[in-house]
Each structure stands twice: as C-alpha cells, then as structure tokens.
Structure 1
Amino acid sequence: MSVPQANGPKSIKNGWFTEISDKHFPGQGLSLKVDEVLYYAHSEFQEILVFKSSNWGNVLVLDGIIQCTERDEFAYQEMISHVPLFAHHNPKRVLVIGGGDGGVIREVVKHSCVESVSLVEIDSTVIELAKQYLPNMSCALYHEKVTIHLRDGYQYLREVGSNPQQDKYDVIITDSSDPDGPAEAFFQREYFQLMNDALKDDGILIAQASENVWLDINYLSRLVKTARSVFENTRYCYTTVPTYTSGQLGLIICAKDSKVNLTKPQRTPSSEEQQLMRYYNPQIHYTSFILPTWADTLVYDTN
C-alpha cells in the first residue's frame, strides 16, 4: 500500500476540494467542503485522495477526479450494474474491470442467478482504502461468488479472448476512471474488440462513458461510433449523480446479439431484489435511454 505523503493535495485550498479538468469539462468545476483529509498518496498508478466532506460523507478521488461519495454512489453503482444484468435473460458469469471500491460487486451479487463474479483491478491500494473508508461499498468484495484478480484489465481480457478453453462471460462491466493514465485504453476500439472476444454469443457489456450530453457530446458521438464498429447493437444511457460534474454520467451499453432490446429489461427484479435497490427500477431502466431531441441527434449522428 502507498505511503501517505506529507504535502497535501493541490486540489484542496481553504478547506474546499475543487475538481477542475480543462480536458473533460472546460470552463467549470465542482467544489466540496472538506472536514478532514483521511488519506493522500501516489500509488504505483495514480494519485489517490480520500477525504471526509461536510455533506457527502467520505469521498474517493483519483487523479483529481471524484470517483464516488458515500451519499450518492448508489445512483452510479446500481445503473452500471443492473441495466446490463436485467437486459440479459440469464446472466451467470460476470466480469468487472476496475471498480476496486467494490460498489459494482455489491450490486452484482444481489442477482441470485449470478453464479460467479471476477473483479480485475490494477491498483490494490484502491481496494485497501475502500475497505477502510468506504465499508458500505466494499462490503461484498469477499463474497463467496467473487474472485479478485490484481492485474491489468486489458491484458486479462486479451488472455480470456485468445484462449479457446477459457469460459466466456455473460456480462462485462467496465467501471473505469476517466480516459487518462491507466484507464485511457478502455475507450479505444481495440478494447471493445477484446470485450467482444471475451463475451458469450448472447453477452452484454457496459462501460462508463466519462462524459454526458452537457459536457462533450462530440466525444460521446465518437465513442458510440467506436463501439458500433465492433457492436452493431450499441446504445447510450445515463444516470444522475450530483457529485459528478454537471450532475449526469453517461453509460455505453452493447450487445453481441443485434436483436436484443437493451432499453427494456429482459427480467424484472424480484420483490426481495427491488427492496435492495435505491435507484434502479424497470421504469428508470427504460427512461435512462431517452435523450433530448438535440442530444439524440448528435450522439447517434442522425443528421
């Protein structure tokens, strides 16, 4: 685990953390009041900050970008997990790339039909910090269905896809950070091809799209085109997360079967499963794919 550094992060001044990125959301930023810095260090892969905020609980920040807060994390974790899992008729084997905080794993194991979950996380420090500072997210990391692989997700997928003896996956969830540093490769055509090779014939994948329609819609349009060069059946949906800049986060979802309607659940939550969900329901599954007219035209390049 990384050794905390004596000098504090530059992103905190006068008791406020400010997230600024001229690349991803130029001309704007997001600030949270800081009660206490809990951890700050550079791991082998990235800058990691954990702080206690005044209103949003503990906050995990990687390379200056908020990854999650205790107060609103479920809005992201539930949608990136349950949209593909309920779009699939019977998911049994699930692969999660990234997501060392454990939030996605917590949601995946709520599905009784899921038999095994592989978590591939490159940075063990994220896992250790989540166990210490984000216990409600990391609570399922050592669930009996879960196997953790501390390695590069890109290489893991390459090995799965190239090995004819390797069991393929029903659902792949890429819970990466923004396309910088170790996560940059997760937004390229080759990565979508690797996921295609690692999926079963009826497999579904989902990935956070980094942007939303209010930030860089041209980037989203290019990302959809990139995904569609591998998966004809590609759609964009979104979730609302107040502590992500502009309050929305996009998700890109693809199916190998061109006939699958990704916008409608193939299964519905049991009463017991629905009681465990605070954001997701079958209605919000469908409506999350509905975009404003101008955004739909640009994302899907229908001019």
Structure 2
Amino acid sequence: MAMLSRIENGWFKERPTLWPGQAMSLEVDTVLYAGKSEFQDVLVFKSAAYGNVLVLDGVIQVTERDEFAYQEMITHLAMFSHPNPQRILVVGGGDGGVVREVLKHDSVQEVYLCEIDETVIDVAKQFLPSMASSYKDPRVSIKIMDGAQFMSENQDFFDVIITDSSDPVGPADVLFKPPYFEKMNSALRQGGIICSQGECIWLHLDLIRPLLESCRLIFPSVSYAYTTIPTYPSGQIGFVLCGKSADTSFSNPHRVCEPGSAIQKKLRYYNHDIHKAAFVLPEFARRAIAGEKEE
C-alpha cells in the first residue's frame, strides 16, 4: 500500500512536492489505519512522541500533541473578530477540531460541517476522539458534500466561514482560487467573516501574495496571520482572514478573550495578546505580501 511505503525503518517521512528539499519525520509506534478513500490516501498511526497522527495523501494533517495550536488559531482569530457569531460553517476539518473550538463560544446556535470525504470523519471518530467528540453536540450538522456547492445553496446565511483545508493539491486545490472566495462572500451575512488556511510564509509567498491580491478585490477587509506548530512545514502555518465589512479590524477584534474567563480557561494556545501578535509579520513576509521589493 502506497501510504505504508512512506514508513521506513519505523519512521514516517513526509516529502510533499509543495516544500521540496526538506522532509518531516515522526517515529511510528503502531499503524492504526491505512486505506484509500474515494478522494485520497488516509493513514493514521500512533507516534512515539506526538500521539495519534492523521495523514492525508502523505501530508500530516493533525497530531494529538500539537493540534490545538492550529485549531484554536484558525477558529478564534475569526470568531473573536465577529461581534456576535451565531451561524457557522466549517469547510473541510473532518477531524472535528475546528468544530470543537467553535462550540466554545456561547453565542453559537448552529454549526455546519461540510466535508467532502466521509472517511476522514470516520477515522477521526475512531482515532481522534478529543476532536471528533464535538460531532455529538446537537448544534452540529454534518454535510458530506462539496463546500462550494453547499454555500451556493445557502446565500447570505453564515456569520463566520472557516475553511480548514489541506494543501492546494488534489481535492483541496479549488479552495485556494478566487471563485471559492467569491462563493464564501456571497454565503456570508452582513458583517460576516471568513478564515482560510493560508500556507507557510517560509515556503509559499508566491502562492500567498496573489491569493491576498484576489481577496482584496472581493472583500473590503483582508488580513494575514500565522501561528507556530511543530509538525507543519517549517513549524508554521498562516491564515487568510477576510471581512464583509470595511469596519472589521482583525488585529483589534470586536470581542476580547478576557484572562480568567470561562472560554480562556478552555484554551491552550490562544489568548488576546497572541491574537494581536499573530498579525505582526516578519519583515520579509510583510514586504512580499505588500508587494514591496527587497533592497
């Protein structure tokens, strides 16, 4: 099986084409699942240091040890930037981690998860229960279908849309193109906000820059943030945030996660200072994204 061939001498090695010249390895304790869905290769293994690991098409998606650094940031950067998020759509994110984080906001009344690959949900329920247990909440509705189609059927409907996608290869490629962002814009209510996985400033500035330029033609408010996470390429991943209102300032969110509050006690990475700092980019990335030339 192709996925098992990536495990050599007890180590899983990630060598995707999107970051040539470097590789990420994790020591494997036990292979828990290896199969092929309708859309992609799916592997789950118990690692020696990072707990259970979900891999899609050879790329690490989540590990139990560090997933919160990604899940909390892709969720709460958007959720706290909205004054009253009630109806939420999560596209992708079949592991359930983003849904888990969304549900921590008391204002939330409905959460829709739109995942094209049901196998991801099934293996998450079995092997990643700390994330997939969120599916038991009665506010959650699961839709096994294309996210763009679902949004076309639900115009002017959501307060926040979070796209927790894999990299722009295979079924996730369309989630990084302008037509998809146009569909998100149409599916948002007035004042709505989107947050999408935005790749890595160390590796993908040539992808990030034109994507943000396209977003600025669609949304009046656009920004870029990032978080650190050990098992993603170069230990970092970014987020594209867009708002339907020009008054939205992502680095100064509408709501503050107060120290000692009920929601802050549930969080392991995100806080208000981290929120503000996430938008302060290293100078090389800021210049590149702004279209400035290096001296």
Shared fold, TM over 0.5: yes
* Percent identity of paired positions between Structure 1 and Structure 2: 50
Q: Kindly indicate whether the alpha-carbon contact (under 8 Å) linking 2:185 and 2:244 is maintained by their aligned counterparts in 1.
A: yes
SS of aligned partner of 1:295: helix
The alpha-carbon deviation at position 139 of structure 1 amounts to 1.3
1:172 aligns with 2:161: yes
1:144 aligns with 2:138: yes
Out of 229, 233, 239, the residue aligned to residue 227 of structure 2 is 239
Residue 247 of structure 1 aligns to which amino acid in structure 2? Answer: G
Provide the C-alpha distance between the structure 2 equivalents of 1:272 and 1:35, rounded to a whole number of angstroms.
36
Hey, what does 1:15 align to over in structure 2? Answer: 10
Q: Kindly indicate whether the alpha-carbon contact (under 8 Å) linking 1:61 and 1:67 is maintained by their aligned counterparts in 2.
A: yes
Hey, what does 2:207 align to over in structure 1? Answer: 219
Out of 74, 77, 84, the residue aligned to residue 83 of structure 1 is 77
SS of aligned partner of 1:171: strand
SS of aligned partner of 1:246: helix
SS of aligned partner of 1:87: coil
The alpha-carbon deviation at position 232 of structure 1 amounts to 3.0
Residue 241 of structure 2 aligns to which amino acid in structure 1? Answer: I
Out of 228, 252, 273, the residue aligned to residue 263 of structure 2 is 273
Q: TM-score, normalised by structure 1?
A: 0.93
Give deviations 1:182-237, integer Å, cap 9, x for gaps: 1111000000000000001100000001x211112121111111211211311110
For structure 2, the residue ranges without an aligned partner over 5 or more in a row are: none
Provide the C-alpha distance between the structure 2 equivalents of 1:234 and 1:190, rounded to a whole number of angstroms.
16
Out of 60, 66, 75, the residue aligned to residue 60 of structure 2 is 66
Out of 199, 204, 217, the residue aligned to residue 188 of structure 2 is 199
**Count of aligned positions:** 291
For structure 1, the residue ranges without an aligned partner over 5 or more in a row are: 162-166
Hey, what does 1:164 align to over in structure 2? Answer: none
Residue 285 of structure 2 aligns to which amino acid in structure 1? Answer: A
Residue 5 of structure 2 aligns to which amino acid in structure 1? Answer: K
Q: TM-score, normalised by structure 2?
A: 0.96
Superposition misfits of 4+ residues, deviation over 3 angstroms: none
Q: Kindly indicate whether the alpha-carbon contact (under 8 Å) linking 1:189 and 1:229 is maintained by their aligned counterparts in 2.
A: no
Provide the C-alpha distance between the structure 2 equivalents of 1:181 and 1:8, rounded to a whole number of angstroms.
16
SS of aligned partner of 2:43: strand
The alpha-carbon deviation at position 142 of structure 1 amounts to 1.8
Provide the C-alpha distance between the structure 1 equivalents of 2:65 and 2:224, rounded to a whole number of angstroms.
25
Residue 257 of structure 1 aligns to which amino acid in structure 2? Answer: S
The alpha-carbon deviation at position 160 of structure 1 amounts to 1.6
Out of 119, 123, 127, the residue aligned to residue 125 of structure 1 is 119
1:33 aligns with 2:22: no
For the aligned residues, what is the CA RMSD?
A: 1.2
Say which is worse superposed, 248-257 or 259-268, in terms of deviation. 259-268
Provide the C-alpha distance between the structure 2 equivalents of 1:58 and 1:26, rounded to a whole number of angstroms.
25
Matches within 5 A, 1:173-188: 173-188=162-177
